[in-house]
Amino acid sequence: MVGFDVINILLITIGVTNFALGLLLFFSSDQKQDSSKRLFSLVILTVVGWITMITIYRSTNNIDGLLGITKLLYISALFIPMVFLLFVNRFIYVKKNKILEKALLIFLGFLLILTWTTPYIISSVVLQDGLEHKIIFGELFWIYAIFIIVTFNLAFYELRLKYKEFKGVKQNQILFIILGTTLSTYPAFVTNLILPWIGVFTFNWVGQLCSIFLTIFTTYAILKHHLFDIKMILSEILLGLMGIILFIYIFIAKNTYEVIVSVIFFLLFTGLAYTLIQELLKGIKREHQLEKTNNKLIEIIESKDLFLRMTSHQLRTPLTSLNGFLSLILEQWQGKYKMNQATHDDLIKVYLNAQRLIVIVNDLLAFNAIKANRFGVTIRLEVDVKDELQYLLEDSKYILEYFETETILKSIGKDFKVSMDSIRMKEVFQNLLFNAIYYGKGKIWITVVDEGDRLKILFRDNGPGIDFTIKDKIFTYRFRARGVGDQNPNGSGLGLFISRTIVELHHGTLKLKNPGSSHGAVFVVKIPKTANLDKYEGQ
């Protein structure tokens, strides 16, 4: 006969450790959202039940109740692989194999009835002096053994398949689940199933002791790879240890007074700990909800960006064709496309609105590219800025004509060639020109100055100017000064923000000079002539 020995003490220690971990996971989970977490806690708790039964079984010397305890021992082992398989299916799969689960659950119920009510699984138990109890197995025990081995290995097979598919943290989590359960399970197959089946009962407690690997690897996964809510687990572990210490102190108190005080402190601590855990649970739920909300916002933003890119590209192609065709008609309005002055003036209005729409579409594309860190420049060498400005004025002649605006292009120096993205910089020059047209009073001065290793371009108008108090705000996106909507209601509010971004990508600067309400506005662009020159940045 085997009584209460060192092995039982080890079993109790491991059982209590597993029980604490199982309870922490169980009560810190949300039944609706954390089904895999709750099922894993049930895996641990079923192992605890198995450890409890082997401890009782080894400590029992009464032959009358030993058969029932033995059957309960083997019944408790049946739940472990089933709950583990349910956990695996919910941890790694979105869709569960409900047919397989139902079939296994039905078979589990059949085995439970067969084990408890018949001698076909456990026939009898024999007490042996100084040795482990001897179990006489029934003729259908092989069905019991196959169910446990097959169910466990089915779960391991699914874990191994998903381990190869997942990457990063998820893969590490699966790895430690596999390690912990493998080191706990396969020794038990040998010591608790196969060896007793052939008559060797000396090691029928080794499987329960090996469950310590389940605790070790699960705890490591919690701490290292955040298998479950680490803040909740650590808080509950700390509170649990403090509660155990206070509880033990009740029994080691020296007198009645100390017992009463210890009980009061323990009850107060229990209430406070319960309240704290509830608040932690609420905080974790709020974090989960916030994370889900953030993920949805990211998806919405990405969808919005994709929609804008697709829509903008789809709009830009026909608008470019329309703009070119309108320009051709206006070029030959007295020739091939002969028309009267009124029709010509109306067509210019159509052309201007097409130009405005092209600018808005380009601004939206550029703005989204900037926000998504996809915006850049392609540098071309030896681009003549003076020629580029002349081409721009030629392309804008119908707008200048419509607004009756005179432009004066001047140059100071000899070398006006720089390394730049001519397409992007044209957008800058066009934006500054259009602003001067819309907000000026019929006259614009454009001056190109050769300053040696850099070029300075000034756009000046004779309009009302810009208030000094908003001179820094005008380069932020979506900012529009009060009253400008009356002069240019179709502006996007992104032009100066995008223009400054483009200039800064060329290691240059875009600034507003002599701001005021009566001197017009002067915008100054400074860009180095070579692509890698940034000595003037920020000046």
Q: Are 312 and 364 in contact (CB under 8 A)?
A: yes
Instruction: Please state, in angstroms and rounded to a whole number, the distance separating the CA atoms of residues 386 and 448.
Output: 7
What number does CATH give the domain 6-228?
1.20.1070.10
Q: Are 278 and 236 in contact (CB under 8 A)?
A: no
The domain spans of the chain are: 6-228, 376-528
- Averaged pLDDT score across all residues of the chain: 79
Asked if the model's pLDDT at residue 422 lies above 80, the reply is yes
Instruction: Please state, in angstroms and rounded to a whole number, the distance separating the CA atoms of residues 429 and 426.
Output: 5
Structure letter (DSSP) for residue 333: T
Task: Provide the whole-model pTM.
Answer: 0.47
Structure letter (DSSP) for residue 157: H
Structure letter (DSSP) for residue 470: G
Say what the pLDDT of residue 527 is.
93
pLDDT class of 323 with cuts at 50, 70, 90:
confident
Instruction: Please state, in angstroms and rounded to a whole number, the distance separating the CA atoms of residues 441 and 405.
Output: 8
Structure-token pair, residue 396: 């804008």
Say what the pLDDT of residue 131 is.
83
**One-letter amino acid of 292:** K
Asked if the model's pLDDT at residue 446 lies above 60, the reply is yes
User: Which range is least confidently modeled, 28-42, 218-232, 499-513?
Assistant: 218-232
**Helix (H) / strand (E) containing 407:** strand 406-412
CA torsion sign for 325, 327, 332, 334 is: positive
Q: Are 461 and 521 in contact (CB under 8 A)?
A: yes
Say what the pLDDT of residue 365 is.
76
Q: Are 40 and 215 in contact (CB under 8 A)?
A: no
List Cα–Cα distances, 320 to 327, 357, 498, in angstroms.
11, 10, 21
Averaged pLDDT for residues 52-78: 89
Cα atoms in the Cβ-side hemisphere of radius 13 Å centred on 454: 19
Residue carrying the six token digits 């006006």? 416
Residue, of 120 and 164, whose pLDDT is higher = 120
Structure letter (DSSP) for residue 133: P
List of long-range contacts for 93-98, beta carbons under 8 Å, 24+ apart: 93/158
3-state SS, 95-132, equals CCCHHHHHHHHHHHHHHHHHHHHCCCCEEEEECCCCCC
List pLDDT tens digits, range 68-103: 999 999 999 999 999 888 888 877 765 566 788 888
Instruction: Please state, in angstroms and rounded to a whole number, the distance separating the CA atoms of residues 195 and 388.
Output: 90
Using CA atoms of 33, 37, 43, 47 in order, give the dihedral in degrees to the nearest 10: -130
β-partners of residue 406 are 443
SS3 523: strand
The CATH class that applies to domain 376-528 reads alpha beta
Instruction: Please state, in angstroms and rounded to a whole number, the distance separating the CA atoms of residues 182 and 159.
Output: 11
Residue, of 371 and 238, whose pLDDT is higher = 371
